[in-house]
Amino acid sequence: MPELAEINLQKYQISEQFGFLPAQPPLTRLPHPCYQIWEDTLGGFPSPSNYETIRQQIDNMPVLSTGALTTEPEWRRAYVVLSMMSQIYIWGGCQPSKKLPRSLTLPLLAVSAHLGIEPCASYASFCLWNVRPIAALDDPNPEVYSNLENLAIINSFTGTKDEEWFFCVSASIEVIGGRMIPKMLEAIDAARDGRRGQVTDFLDELASCLAQIDATLGRMYEKCAPSVFYHRVRRFLNGSKSMGGVWYEGIDGPGDCRSYAGGSNAQSSLIQLLDIVLGIDHSDDGGNGACKSHGSFHRHMRAYMPGPHRDFLQLMSRVSNLRPFVLSHGTGSDLRAAYNRAVAALGQIRQKHLVMAARYIIAPALKEKGKSGLDGVRGTGGTRFMPLLKDARDRTIESISSGVCRDC
């Protein structure tokens, strides 16, 4: 097997500096004038006066060909524009729409097929390809993304700072963790060759990186109020599964009914990559049906990732070897201690995320619906929230107890 450290990350559309974010800031507008109507329609939102007229505007849009899209950044920008307009069309009115017009569905299907991603709004729409530095930098460095005040979203559903902060925190986390990807490949090579010291150093560095991610995640509360997220932002992250699907109009007929999950951080390739590298398996449940459901949810979320990123996760699932390498060494070793610190740091992030989910979803839902209404609360990915929260809590505890070498 060739050395993984020599792998061409560009093949998987991964940047050595920015991870799963593009190496260059995403486009703020499609350059070809034929797509001006798309950009102008999306740019007119979120003016409150447009909430009830946005569907009519989209209904009257012509069906445009994707033939004028020539570069990958243009394809990504088209996906952001079309998928965000689809969310606005479905959720922007007083009542959700059960259909999408062909002016959206036909180009969205074509763009999504090109990118290898589901034809709906996703984490890539909101975060990966919709966050960029405020300053027009031709060659930004990772430090730019570490300062959240340097970041902004290109398009917004609500025009609130809360929404912008929510996605900018996620983008910053992507860059913090993404810089570890080349080192992950080197560590897997080192484990294959028996270079224990190098693997130990990597695990220590990963634990420090995870601590920085944890601290960045904790900044969410600074400028994203739970009440604003729950009552204004969250509806635009919903998926069509929550209402039994949406009809995607075809060329000459009604088309077909499609059902998709909503945007979710579970669609972050980085989050799943961390599990893969540390050997935390969400599918091997030892007979526990709840854990199997959680693992199935994670696998399902990969369809909402860009195709090359999904391919990279599949590659890493085949070659990841750090956990067996750690277990092959004696108890009390520096290697095992470093592995334990990394898994514990990941567990800390999960625990913080559970607390955050409770503050941003459970608490507002309690206030709005009362205790009896909580069973119907769903996560942004479209699953029922209470079983998912319990499942994630149980899985976090299991990851810490089984992910850490038990006999250390």
- In whole angstroms, give the CA distance from residue 6 to residue 186: 9
Amino acid identity for residue 231 in this structure: H
- 9: tokens are 């990350």
State how far the alpha carbon of 342 is from the alpha carbons of 4, 170, 338, in Å.
Answer: 21, 20, 6
> What residues form the annotated binding site for heme b?
353
The HSE-up count of residue 235 (CA atoms within 13 Å, CB side) is: 16
- 138: tokens are 């031709």
State how far the alpha carbon of 364 is from the alpha carbons of 49, 225, 231, 351, 379, in Å.
Answer: 26, 11, 8, 19, 13
- In whole angstroms, give the CA distance from residue 326 to residue 204: 13
> What residues form the annotated binding site?
353
- In whole angstroms, give the CA distance from residue 57 to residue 37: 10
- In whole angstroms, give the CA distance from residue 233 to residue 178: 26
Q: Which residues pair with 258 in a beta bridge?
A: 246
- In whole angstroms, give the CA distance from residue 279 to residue 199: 14
